[in-house]
């Protein structure tokens, strides 16, 4: 499935209340009707928090909430964006002069990320214009990847308008590389599951190369997603990027400690791969370096520094601890 292009199918808009409402709003806004609709879902992550940008596998699944865009290609070179939510103002720009302001986490910049990623992938200088009306029901800044869903949706919109074809994996990789245009770094999990998700299954997402494996959920299993209503806008704060940079620094320090070409290393998984060691052995290497830097024994590290719930247990659990909080615990 991953090698295939995203699914396309004809629908009777009148049979889908949300599409019908979007069509009517589009007509009211632009004085015409959409030529097609594009959808990208949000996601939850079941296992593997904050380790995708370290190069390690994660287990997310898509959710019903999504971003839906109604689209009409136009003969001008103008991109017009509107949103069904009145909190998000209209935006218009030249399709051939995409400027993304990293200092402002404005909603339309996420669309521009996806558009720019596709434009640069094909090396295009002249893009056709389009009218787009965005409708999203993923709670914003809730940790359900509303921003990545919009980036992915925009990438797919642009690809469709251009009449080009890419596989789901290629699209996921392009959108993962283009979202940082708004200033937010990431590991690719959000974009990957948005394109590679399938109904009724979670996905084991692995990187380098990107691939997805079905993980069937137990019969009768139900996942309850509760919105705490506490917002965290990754692009508006530095918290997410700081954690990612801490992991990157940890990878470089470990690489240098093991006499590897550390200046080219970005992810902890790269260190493990270059050393040709297991996850358990990677844990020991990490602990050894911490002990060396602090001038303490392994026993002192485990009994005097680690908290009770991070002592002992499986090597995988302890390793995740260091992957999640490397620099400020070293």
- Per-residue pLDDT tens, the chain, 330 aa: give them: 467 889 888 888 888 999 999 999 999 999 999 999 999 999 999 999 889 999 999 999 999 999 999 999 999 899 999 999 999 999 999 998 899 988 888 999 999 999 999 999 999 988 889 999 999 999 988 889 999 999 999 999 999 999 999 999 999 999 999 999 998 888 999 999 999 999 889 999 999 899 999 998 788 888 888 888 887 776 667 788 899 999 999 999 999 999 999 999 999 999 999 999 999 999 899 999 999 999 999 999 988 888 776 665 444 444 444 344 433 333
Structure tokens at 118: 């596709």
Sequence-ordered list of residues with C-beta below 8 angstroms from that of 324, at least 6 positions apart, any chain = 49, 50, 51, 243
E strands in the chain: 36-47, 59-74, 78-83, 91-94, 129-136, 201-206, 211-216
Which SS3 state, helix, strand or coil, does residue 129 take? strand
Question: Cα(first)–Cα(last) distance of the chain, in Å?
Answer: 42
* Active-site annotation holds for 90: no
Give whole-number Cα distances, 188 to 24, 40, 92, 209, 253, in Å: 35, 15, 28, 12, 23
Q: pTM of the prediction?
A: 0.87
Sequence-ordered list of residues with C-beta below 8 angstroms from that of 325, at least 6 positions apart, any chain = 246
Of the candidates 53, 2, 40, the one whose C-alpha atom is nearest the C-alpha of residue 203 is: 2
Out of 52, 66, 135, 190, the active site residue is 190
Q: What is the pLDDT of residue 162?
A: 95
Distance (Å, rounded) from C-alpha 279 to C-alpha 273? 10
E strands in 122-239: 129-136, 201-206, 211-216
Which domains, from first to last, does the chain contain? Answer: 13-215 (3.30.230.10), 238-323 (no CATH)
Q: What is the pLDDT of residue 2?
A: 60
Q: What is the pLDDT of residue 229?
A: 82
Contact in structure between 79 and 94 (CB atoms under 8 Å): yes
E strands in 210-303: 211-216
């Amino acid at each position: 499935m991953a090698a295939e292009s995203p699914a396309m199918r004809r629908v009777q808009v009148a049979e889908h209340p949300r599409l019908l409402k979007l069509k009517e709003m589009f007509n009211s806004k632009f004085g015409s009707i959409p030529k097609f609709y594009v959808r990208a879902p949000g996601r939850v992550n079941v296992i593997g928090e904050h380790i995708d940008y370290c190069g390690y596998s994660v287990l997310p699944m898509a959710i019903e909430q999504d971003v839906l865009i109604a689209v009409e290609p136009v003969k001008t070179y103008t991109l017009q964006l509107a949103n069904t939510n009145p909190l998000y103002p209209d935006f218009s720009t030249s399709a051939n002069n995409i400027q993304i302001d990293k200092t402002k986490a404005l909603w339309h910049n996420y669309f521009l990320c996806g558009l720019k990623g596709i434009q640069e992938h094909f090396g295009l200088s002249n893009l056709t214009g389009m009218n787009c009306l965005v409708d999203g029901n993923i709670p914003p800044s809730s940790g359900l990847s509303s921003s990545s869903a919009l980036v992915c949706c925009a990438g797919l919109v642009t690809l469709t308008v251009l009449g080009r074809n890419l596989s789901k994996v290629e699209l996921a990789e392009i959108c993962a590389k283009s979202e940082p245009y708004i200033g937010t770094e990431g590991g690719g999990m959000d974009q990957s599951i948005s394109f590679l998700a399938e109904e009724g299954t979670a996905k084991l997402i692995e990187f380098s190369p990107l691939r997805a494996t079905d993980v069937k959920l137990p019969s009768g299993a139900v996942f309850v997603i509760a919105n705490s209503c506490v917002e965290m806008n990754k692009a508006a704060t530095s918290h997410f990027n700081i954690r990612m940079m801490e992991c990157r620094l940890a990878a470089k320090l470990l690489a240098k400690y093991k006499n590897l070409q550390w200046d080219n290393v970005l992810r902890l998984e790269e260190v493990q791969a270059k050393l040709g060691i297991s996850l358990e052995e990677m844990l020991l290497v990490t602990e050894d370096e911490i002990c060396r830097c602090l001038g303490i024994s392994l026993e002192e590290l485990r009994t005097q520094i680690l908290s009770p719930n991070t002592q002992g247990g499986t090597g995988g659990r302890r390793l995740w601890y260091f992957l999640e909080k490397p620099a400020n615990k070293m």
